[in-house]
Structure 1
């Protein structure tokens, strides 16, 4: 027989929400950092093919 689950407290809900938001923020920072390094040409971990316009 199924039993209704107890309600999650507000503090637990907020903790989970902040963790979820923090993960998105950190991945956005990493993407921005990679984009900056690619645009300046100082990337050491990501290789991009460059075309010669000569």
Structure 2
């Protein structure tokens, strides 16, 4: 977590311009790395069709 503010730092994400300005849900699924302080993620965005 960054600065104890319950926020994560995400970098190098592609196609964010295709998401709506509001309403999308981002899922950032990290790898479980023993004793690690960082990890690559699999980023998923959930967007309502309606």
Per the TM superposition, whether the score is higher than 0.5 is no
- Structure number with greater CO (CA < 8 Å, separation at least 6) is 2
Q: Specify which structure has the higher proportion of helix.
A: 1
Question: Comparing both structures, which one devotes a greater share of its residues to strand?
Answer: 2
TM-score normalised by length of structure 2: 0.21
**Larger Rg, first or second structure (1 or 2):** 1
